A and B are shown apart, each in its own frame.
Chain A
């Protein structure tokens, strides 16, 4: 099995990569200025002309774009190509506002699949593998994205999409799935259902790795998944605006490789928009260097991460982003304190008496915010002494307080009480009317 999909590019010396970025960025700004009235207006307003961009560092002179821009120009006002060049549309569900539409040229689809082909190869998935694609197929980019990447590396895709869990498990056994791609919370659900069917994912299937994303998950959750199911669990990242799922970790599981010949990334202070140095946590900003239909300039993703520029042990020279533990818009502010579901998850996974499923409920009583954390009591370590259960509540409460610096009410609930999701898990229920 090849270790690299494209060794020349993936191991390209950093200064050469910089040169590629420079050429492509210069081309890009000229291209969007000439082809999109939206960008031309933006640049003009900011007093920027394409000639001002001479190096990758100059990217910080360019104005940001945000999701609202896609909404304001709905459906295709930011596109740089006529409809005749577009071979596919995807669209967001619009649950949090007006939907957004993204479009792809033939080359965009090829670049997207190439990015995933590199990622899949880096985790040892290739010809001979059977990849069960449990992300939703349809307007959501997850299913089709992974599907094309899987076919490109010569592996076999099973387009199960999400849901119909017992059937998923049957197919997993019958067709010998070696890898699965879905949300981590859905995989935990699959594991539960398999257990109830008397099937051990570790012993009774050929599954050896999982490609998990579309929702933030913690290092502790990874450990738990790997211990319980005997597979290697890899993080995958991407959003529909920049194509879909695009980037994965390699077998070293030490950050997600972002292909610098295709994308230029920065991290900025979410409040001021100032670019932050490597190693500082901030909001991820992406400029697409090769997209044709809907190029994005300094698009603010809302994901919080840290960039690492030093080459990885695997030999790849491209920058990495460290595990995404939250989004600027996932964050809830409780009594003035920023709380990320990822932090809570990290705490809970350290406590063996509780299960993987949890939910945060925020309510307002009078003027005061009340945080309730619901956790499921797992069967294997259940003590029937009330005092032990009270101690467990206290232990969870104390651990949360240490990490969040906020006191929350802990509620022990029965297994299966917290709703299981087929897609992104809903970890936070905010009942406040603010």
Chain B
């Protein structure tokens, strides 16, 4: 199961110009590649979430630069990059009463798209998705 967990990097940032530039600059200098990225905003502040190729290194770099940063375990769900792809996953989760805290998705160069989700009961979600035959990507796949 361990290798099916993705360590997402989350950063607390104030909602003001230049913050994203500062954060991405730090990652660039450390030669860290961002594979998926989203910003959730809540008024004066926001949370940046990203999947990167070297999460532990990214965490240390940002932490040392003085950011409030955490690593959060999320799932990378494979879905078909065609109409109904997201619906298929949502149906599995919905039918099994799994609540999604947040999600974001990106397309890849293959015929698969990728959905990043955070759920409360992560091992139960893995079990259910496996049983439904849904593919999960692991940390190796984002490197």
Q: Give me the interface of A with B, judged by CB distance under 8 Å.
A: 196, 377-379, 382-387, 389-390, 411-417
The smallest C-beta distance from A409 to any residue of chain B, in angstroms, reads 9
Task: Note all chain A residues with C-beta closer than 8 A to B44.
Answer: 411-412
A387 to B12, CA, bound (A): 13
Task: Note all chain B residues with C-beta closer than 8 A to A377.
Answer: 12, 68
Asked if B47 is at the interface of the complex by the 8 Å CB criterion, the answer is yes
The smallest C-beta distance from B54 to any residue of chain A, in angstroms, reads 19
- With A382-B70, A414-B12, A414-B66 given, can you name 6 additional A-B contacts, CB distance below 8 Å? A382-B68, A384-B10, A387-B101, A389-B45, A411-B45, A414-B68
Of A382, A386, A414, the contact of B42 (CB 8 Å cutoff): A386
Task: Note all chain B residues with C-beta closer than 8 A to A411.
Answer: 44-45
- A390-B42, A412-B44, A414-B13 are known contacts. Are A385 and B68 too (CB-CB below 8 A)? no
Task: Note all chain A residues with C-beta closer than 8 A to B118.
Answer: 385
A379 and B63 form a contact (CB under 8 A): yes
Asked if B40 is at the interface of the complex by the 8 Å CB criterion, the answer is yes
Q: Give the size category of B's interface with A.
A: 20 to 34
A386 and B68 form a contact (CB under 8 A): no
A389 and B47 form a contact (CB under 8 A): yes
Q: Give me the interface of B with A, judged by CB distance under 8 Å.
A: 8, 10, 12-14, 40, 42, 44-45, 47, 49, 63-64, 66-70, 72, 101-102, 118
Task: Note all chain B residues with C-beta closer than 8 A to A382.
Answer: 10, 12, 68-70
The smallest C-beta distance from B56 to any residue of chain A, in angstroms, reads 15
The smallest C-beta distance from A53 to any residue of chain B, in angstroms, reads 59
B102 and A378 form a contact (CB under 8 A): no
A416 to B42, CA, bound (A): 20
Task: Note all chain A residues with C-beta closer than 8 A to B67.
Answer: 379, 414-415
Task: Note all chain B residues with C-beta closer than 8 A to A196.
Answer: 64
Task: Note all chain B residues with C-beta closer than 8 A to A415.
Answer: 66-68
Task: Note all chain A residues with C-beta closer than 8 A to B47.
Answer: 384-386, 389
- A385-B101, A389-B12 are known contacts. Are A379 and B68 too (CB-CB below 8 A)? yes
The smallest C-beta distance from B14 to any residue of chain A, in angstroms, reads 5
Task: Note all chain B residues with C-beta closer than 8 A to A414.
Answer: 12-14, 66-68
A417 to B66, CA, bound (A): 10
B14 and A379 form a contact (CB under 8 A): no
A217 to B69, CA, bound (A): 29
Nearest chain-A residue to B48 (Cβ)? Answer: A384
Give 8 closest A-B pairs by Cβ, nearest first: A384-B10, A379-B68, A386-B42, A382-B68, A382-B70, A416-B66, A377-B68, A384-B72
Task: Note all chain A residues with C-beta closer than 8 A to B102.
Answer: 385-386
